[in-house]
Amino acid sequence: MTVVTTRTFTPDAAGLSQAAAVLGDGGLVAFPTETVYGLGVDARNSDAVARLYAAKGRPGFNPLIVHVASLDAAEAYVEFDDTARALAQAFWPGALTLVLPLRADAGISPLVTAGLDTLAIRVPDHGVAAALLAAFDGPIAAPSANPSGQVSPTKAAHVADHMTGIIDGIVDGGDCPVGVESTIVATQPRPTLLRAGGLPAEAIANAVGQDLAMAGDADAPTSPGQLASHYAPKGTVRLNAVDINEGEVLLGFGAVDAPLNLSPSGDLVEAAARLFDALHQLNAMGAAQIAVSPIPDHGLGAAINDRLRRAAAPRSG
């Protein structure tokens, strides 16, 4: 990975304006929330989101949480039912993430949602995070600002220790008061705890007037990113294709002649950014049989191949 200069931004108007400009240019900026430091990118920029996955060494396209400035701002990206709106009014800003239906015109990168039709979204309860969101004036996707599998950071120094030379900047806003990630809840078909976190589940249950279902219950929604069918185009998929059979449409990678190419230069970050959009394009083309060029199975290639293997898996039903 190319070494980048990691700047430190002060949590004042000047520093946050600089950090917001970096985000607007597709950069990666760590910032404090009440839970942990998040590694933020413009949630609408697929290239930036793909770079975030590479920077974290994240093994797959796990859906990301999008941070917004207010409930009103969230309304532009997701559809609220009565329960979700009541929870947002009760606990936002705060350590509650809601998983809600994505609006068709939301403009969120499909890498953020892992191609799903839902979005995880919250309003952070931290002055610096709120000021950065105001300065950026847009949705910020932000998982924890640490290499995948390591301890989440609650101080700017934690971020600097692991991410210097990898990300573009760190907003030093002091210690995170909550120190554990947000609680994640889906409200349909019933209120369901997808991840325990900084807001106690009991408080949520009291607010909705019923016990929460647990992720994995038969009548509860599956946690984001677990269903293979979410990644499958309408046509059948054949992987590691070096020759094209009659009737197949090639999804290329590298120096191959293809109507759609994830990255002619063989750049895995570019390929990751284009993957979900390419699958949507194949549907729009009416491709009944899809051949996919071999893709290296390292770095982001492992995540790309994971999604493609799910797309190629036999369909149920």
pTM here is 0.83
| Domains of the chain, each with CATH number or no CATH | 7-214 (3.90.870.10), 228-312 (3.40.50.11030)
* Per-residue pLDDT at 59: 63
Per DSSP (E only), the strands in 177-294 are: 183-186, 192-195, 213-214, 236-238, 249-252, 260-261, 289-292
Do the strands 29-32 and 118-122 form a parallel or antiparallel pair, or are they unpaired? unpaired
Q: What per-residue confidence (pLDDT) applies to 216?
A: 66
pLDDT digits (tens, 9 = 90+) for 34-51: 999 999 999 999 999 999
Q: What is the pLDDT of residue 220?
A: 42
Q: What is the pLDDT of residue 288?
A: 95
pLDDT of residue 226: 39
**Alpha carbon 210 to its chain's center:** 29
Residue 234's pLDDT is what?
83
For residue 115 the two structure tokens come to: 């191609």
- pLDDT-derived band of residue 315, with 50, 70 and 90 as boundaries? low
Q: Is the link from the previous residue into 314 a cis peptide, with omega within 30 of 0?
A: no
Instruction: Classify burial at 254, counting beta carbons within 10 Å of its beta carbon; exposed 0-12, middle 13-18, buried 19 or more.
Output: middle
DSSP state of 78: B
Q: How many angstroms separate the CA atoms of 50 and 61, rounded?
A: 9
Measured at the CA of 187, the angle between CA 184 and CA 190, to 5 degrees, comes to: 120
pLDDT of residue 229: 44
Instruction: Please give the average per-residue pLDDT across 286-314, as a whole number.
Output: 87
Q: What is the pLDDT of residue 280?
A: 76
Average pLDDT over residues 23-29: 98
